[in-house]
Amino acid sequence: MHKNLKAARRYAKSLLDFAESEKILAEVAADMQVVQASCRENADLVKFLKSPLIKADKKTAVLDKIFSGKIGKVTEKFLKIIVRKRREIILPEIAAAFEALYREQQGIVLAEVTTAIALDEALRAKINALVKNTHDKVELKEHVNPDIIGGIVIKIGDAQYDDSILSRIAEIKRLQQSNPYVSQF
């Protein structure tokens, strides 16, 4: 495991343990989702945090401005500690590690569903029911990727079910290339 990922996991674990001991785990988990989404959606924020030229007090002020009123006091204090320890460069990794640890601790399985168009409520309910046959607690993350043309790709942990048209086309191409009965001239 990379050094920064180990550090991110340690910070995330410390925050998770503290939040659990204070009985505010759900609140802090929601806060960290806000932090993670902000980092994912704003590349400039991540560049800003990673810049060695910007002083810690400026970074703290900007984080305060961005997250004020959106996250709880414990998470605000945690962000200040991260900056003071000069670990703000791994904030996106800390947020991701926290989310993974929280899911693991709560027994929540992440099911990522990719379709060519957005899911409607009826299909979303069918997918939830299908996944809940094998897992009690499921968090469904939906992705739209028009490149798959049609069908669906479901990924749960390391297992993946790919019934997309794109994968079928790739399979047909592979079979055509390996067909010994087709002349290779």
pLDDT tens digits for 134-178?
A: 777 888 889 999 999 999 999 987 889 899 999 999 988 888 887
User: Which positions ≥6 away from 116 have C-beta within 8 Å?
Assistant: 144, 145, 146, 147, 148, 149, 150, 151, 164, 165
Pairwise CA distance, residues 23 & 4, whole Å:
28
> Could you tell me which CATH class the domain 3-104 is placed in?
mainly alpha
Domain ranges of the chain: 3-104, 107-178
- Of all residues in the chain, the percent with pLDDT exceeding 90 is 71
Q: Is the pLDDT of residue 12 over 90?
A: yes
Question: What pTM value is reported for the model?
Answer: 0.76
pLDDT value, residue 157 = 78
Q: What is the mean pLDDT of the chain?
A: 91
* Burial state string for 143-180 with b = 16 or more CB within 10 A and e = fewer than 16: eeeeebeeebbbbbeeeeebebebeeeeeeeeeeeeee
For 180, phi and psi rounded to 5 degrees?
Answer: -75, -15
AA letter at 99: E
Percent of the chain at pLDDT exceeding 70: 96
Backbone angles phi, psi at 149, to 5 degrees: 70, -50
pLDDT tens profile 174-185: 888 876 665 655
